[in-house]
């Protein structure tokens, strides 16, 4: 019996079933071979993207909004602290410690993301110089 005769005796469903089995075996062999082609990873990544695409986009948007809130809060905190210093309002050592951490975080963020810092940078310099003065006078 030849291969052609063998396929003639099979139904369309049997041929499709054996074709799928052969495809799965071939993809599995490629997946575990030392070749850096991973078909199952690619298929599952594509499927995951199709199933979770909306959620991934929503998470990215939410992450962007949280980052904007974080930046705005740090900026507002620094500007408010500098304004209070100029108005003569005294702050505790804990408040000073917190503002110095906030300034460091904000400056790192602006450097990392190549963002102009303008007024906040000047207020940060002012706060740091006031801290140095008060520290030398041992008032904090």
Per-residue pLDDT tens for 84-114?
Answer: 999 999 999 999 999 999 999 999 999 999 9
d(CA 86, CA 80): 10
pLDDT value at 13 more than 70: yes
Query: Do 71 and 99 have their domain in common?
Result: yes
pLDDT interval class at 124 (50, 70, 90): very high
Query: Do 59 and 127 have their domain in common?
Result: yes
Query: Do 132 and 94 have their domain in common?
Result: yes
Q: How many domains does the chain have?
A: 2
- As a whole number, mean pLDDT of residues 32-60 equals 83
Does the pTM of the predicted model rise above 0.75? no
pLDDT value at 40 more than 90: no
Query: Do 23 and 64 have their domain in common?
Result: no
Q: What is the largest CA-CA distance in the chain?
A: 103
Query: Do 53 and 32 have their domain in common?
Result: no
Query: Do 71 and 26 have their domain in common?
Result: no
d(CA 140, CA 137): 8
- Is 126 a domain residue? yes
Query: Do 87 and 119 have their domain in common?
Result: yes
The boundaries of the domain holding residue 19 are 1-37
Query: Do 1 and 54 have their domain in common?
Result: no
Please report, to the nearest 10 degrees, the dihedral formed by the alpha carbons of residues 67, 73, 79, 84 taken in order.
-160
- As a whole number, mean pLDDT of residues 44-67 equals 92
Task: Please answer whether residues 76 and 118 qualify as being in contact, where contact means their C-beta atoms are separated by less than 8 angstroms.
Answer: no
Please report, to the nearest 10 degrees, the dihedral formed by the alpha carbons of residues 71, 76, 79, 85 taken in order.
-130
- Looking at residue 1, the DSSP 8-state letter turns out to be -
Query: Do 32 and 81 have their domain in common?
Result: no
Cβ neighbours around 88 below 10 Å, total? 6
Question: How far out from the chain centre does Cα 66 lie?
Answer: 11
What are residue 114's phi and psi, to 5 degrees? 55, 55
């Amino acid at each position: 019996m030849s291969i052609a005769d063998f396929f003639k005796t099979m139904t369309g469903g049997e041929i499709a079933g054996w074709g799928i089995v052969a495809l799965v075996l071939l993809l599995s062999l490629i997946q575990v071979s030392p070749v850096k082609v991973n078909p199952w990873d690619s298929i599952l990544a594509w499927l995951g993207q199709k199933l979770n695409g909306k959620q991934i986009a929503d998470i990215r948007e939410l992450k962007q909004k949280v980052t904007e809130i974080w930046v705005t809060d740090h900026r507002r905190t620094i500007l408010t602290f500098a304004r209070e210093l100029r108005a003569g309002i005294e702050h505790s050592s804990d408040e000073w410690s917190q503002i110095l951490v906030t300034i460091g975080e904000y400056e790192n963020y602006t450097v990392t993301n190549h963002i102009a810092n303008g007024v906040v940078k000047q207020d940060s310099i002012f706060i740091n110089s006031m801290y140095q003065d008060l520290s030398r006078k041992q008032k904090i």
